[in-house]
Amino acid sequence: MHTMKKKEKFFGLLGISAVSIMLFSSMCHSNLVLATTYAKAATADATITVKPTCSMTATIESGNEHTATIINGQYKENIGLTSIQTLCNDYHGYAIYAIGYTGGDVGVAAGTNTVLHSNALGGTYDITTGITTSGDTSSWAMKLAATIISGTYKPDILNGYDDYSIIPQVYTKVASLDPNIDFADPRTDLTATYAAYISLGQPAGVYEGQVKYVLVHPSSNLGPDYYYMQDVNEWGATIAVGQEITAYDSRDNKAYTVRRMCTSGAGSTWQEKEASCTDSTLWMTQNLDLDLNPSIKITSMNTDLNEYSVDSVAYSDSGGYYLIQEPYGPDTIVWSPSSRTVTDIDNTSGGINGWYNSNTAPWSFSPEGNDASTSWYTNGTYFQSSLCNTSNDQTCNYLKASNTFAQNYFQRIPFASNGSHGKVGNYYNWSAAIASNNSSSFATSTYYDTTKNPKNSICPRGWRLPIVSATGDENDFAKLNNIYNSIHDSDKADQGLFNAPVYMTRSGNISSNKLNLAGFNGSYWSSTVYNDTNADYLVFRSNLVITGTNNSRFFGWSIRCVSDY
């Protein structure tokens, strides 16, 4: 038995606006002479939106069902034939993954999903996957082929699956259609078939197995068994209060821990408040680490870009926004950052080359450096006093290998490792945080009316910057602090934010080409405007937490994104 299933990452939608066309004409006669005839016409444009759609169907061809009668000691190829048809009109392409799916059958051992199983004989005689064609071990294998129909584009078969190969134990990419395809005809066809070898000692019986194929869109995604930040609308509501997962940003495939935080609950500890929680929000528990590059456009398909208008005060051409029909798709907002993330760390002083203090243009910095030899993650390279603007010992020794406190931030641990929350990520000024090349149009405080906050940010799609507000129930930082920072010791004011389960970091800030107050202060941008040069943010240190204050937009601070799903 062979089973096909499909997964649609996007659904198509066609909408047509009503159109009325009116024609008025009037004629009059005077003394039997025809007067001038006037015709007036009014037209309305029709708007048709075709959204990105990727789907997959499978048909087992009649007469080629996946069944075979095999005598012991015999090898048989081309068992059955399934036609897999895909339809994808999206510029970003797709990938097809395969996985053995026998694990759902009764009597199959837990964790086993790549066997041919006999319900009558039990798991003792399961036929494992393999490409054996003789000997004492029975096996079965799969093969894919791409077919060409006039006007269609053939996907690439990957990882040797163009010949008989083992059934994947975990989701494995087996075919893909690269981005930038021509959409003259977006359909593609594949075929799946199987082979089996039955050894002389294999007991007679009926053995069944399954393979599941999943279409993942776009092609850059890691696979169907991962959470993606951009798909939070699909899985966000399933995450319970206190539950933490790992989710991937499809823009660069970096992983972040994500947790549903309580924002309203009763009790004296955060554990008690979570137990009685009545409201909650999804938070990243690692700092954003997205690098910006003028040559790499980010779009509303993967980024929190929600507003565009050439006439808008908030977003104009000078802000770098474009509404693109092709190749990204209709009604897609595209932003090209005007500057690249700075990575040049001076080998001598540890200073930053290329950072510019700007209140309007976007600037960002990655402490990972150009390479490992110039990275702050190579503990102990930079510890000169010139990096510090305070005599506080914890700060001035922050980058020394002997400072174990600092190692919570600046060590070269894979960013994707689940549970390793204490990563600095990148530093962004406020213009970069709101994904703007020119934020000068935001000149008036939105503290008392956060509906006028910027609608765009560099957070993944479905996520946003936290809000600072005069109203407590709108201030994301205040709600988080109220639940998770119940320590009232003046010398440990920020411990609830610094430790589990929030894991914010005392990353310091970037300004004037230097790292300042690292290990001493933690600062996180909000989307709230203070005035034409300042924006609101969260700041904390061991003896102070302020959930809403303001400072110059040119500072490079950390970013944590929130989701309302």
Q: State the virtual CA torsion across 500, 503, 508, 511 in degrees, nearest 10.
A: -170
Q: With contact defined as beta carbons under 8 Å apart, do 190 and 97 qualify? A: no
Q: With contact defined as beta carbons under 8 Å apart, do 365 and 355 qualify? A: yes
Residue 517 or 462, more confident: 462
Query: What does the alpha-carbon distance between residue 288 and residue 460 come to, in Å, rounded to a whole number?
Result: 10
DSSP letters, 404-458, are TTGGGTSS---TT-TT-------EE-HHHHTT-S-GGG--S--TT-GGGS-S--S
Give residue 105's pLDDT.
65
Residue 51 or 495, more confident: 495
pLDDT tens, residue by residue, 73-115:
999 999 999 989 888 877 778 889 999 988 666 677 767 789 9
pLDDT tens, residue by residue, 274-331:
999 999 999 999 899 999 999 888 888 899 998 874 444 344 445 566 665 555 666 7
Per the document, the length of the chain is: 565
Query: What does the alpha-carbon distance between residue 367 and residue 387 come to, in Å, rounded to a whole number?
Result: 13
Q: What is the CA radius of gyration of the chain?
A: 30
In Å, how far from its chain's centre is CA 530? 30
State which of 18-22, 343-347, 559-563 shows the largest mean pLDDT. 559-563
pLDDT tens, residue by residue, 334-358:
888 999 999 876 655 556 788 999 9
Nearest CA to 326 out of 155, 154, 90 is that of 90
Lowest-confidence segment of 18-32, 176-190, 450-464, 544-558 by average pLDDT: 18-32
In this structure, the strands spanning 128-129 and 172-177 are: unpaired
**Percentage of the chain with pLDDT > 70?**
72
Give residue 384's pLDDT.
38
First to last CA, the chain: 39
The residue type of 384 is Q
Residue 498 or 476, more confident: 476
**Percentage of the chain with pLDDT > 90?**
43
Handedness of CA 199, 204, 206, 208 (dihedral sign): negative
Residue 223: how many CB atoms within 10 A of its CB? 16
Query: What does the alpha-carbon distance between residue 86 and residue 96 come to, in Å, rounded to a whole number?
Result: 10
Kindly state the average pLDDT of the residues 210-237. 85
pLDDT tens, residue by residue, 419-447:
456 577 899 999 999 999 999 989 999 99
Residue 121 or 403, more confident: 121
Lowest-confidence segment of 63-72, 93-102, 258-267, 388-397 by average pLDDT: 388-397
State which of 19-28, 249-258, 412-421 shows the largest mean pLDDT. 249-258
Q: With contact defined as beta carbons under 8 Å apart, do 537 and 475 qualify? A: no
In the structure encoding, which two tokens stand for residue 510, read together? 């970037």
**Mean per-residue pLDDT over the chain, rounded:** 78
Assess whether pLDDT exceeds 60 at residue 132. yes
Assess whether pLDDT exceeds 50 at residue 32. no
Kindly state the average pLDDT of the residues 528-541. 96
Assess whether pLDDT exceeds 90 at residue 192. yes
- C-alpha distances in Å from residue 384, one per residue of 62, 379, 399, 541: 75, 13, 9, 22
Assess whether pLDDT exceeds 60 at residue 515. yes
In the structure encoding, which two tokens stand for residue 261, read together? 């935080």
Lowest-confidence segment of 215-219, 380-384, 554-558 by average pLDDT: 380-384
Residue ranges of domains in the chain, CATH in brackets: 14-50 (no CATH), 54-216 (2.60.40), 227-284 (no CATH), 340-563 (no CATH)
Q: With contact defined as beta carbons under 8 Å apart, do 522 and 251 qualify? A: no
DSSP state for residue 169 in the 8-state scheme: S
DSSP state for residue 240 in the 8-state scheme: P
